[in-house]
Amino acid sequence: MHYITTEDLFTVLHEVHLAVGHGGRDRMMKELKRKYCNVTVEAIMIYLKFFESCQKKAPIPNPL
């Protein structure tokens, strides 16, 4: 297993996200765990929050 440097984290997250067909947190984590040991769920969630095309397909919360 490898460690990802802070400088490479975005690139790796982006490549994995595309490789798993714009998959979400769980699909990305499963793929990342195969190669890397220091990627957190929090890092994936921050990446997904700012990935514009995936934001558009996310369900809109129902205000109660």
Q: 22's torsion region: left (phi>0), alpha (psi -120 to 50) or beta?
A: left
Bridge partner residues of 36 (DSSP):
2
Domain segments of the chain as ranges: 6-57
pLDDT in tens, 24-57: 899 999 999 999 999 999 999 999 988 766 655 6
pTM listed for this prediction: 0.77
pLDDT-based confidence at residue 11 (cuts at 50, 70, 90): very high
pLDDT at 59: 61
Q: Are 9 and 39 in contact (CB under 8 A)?
A: yes
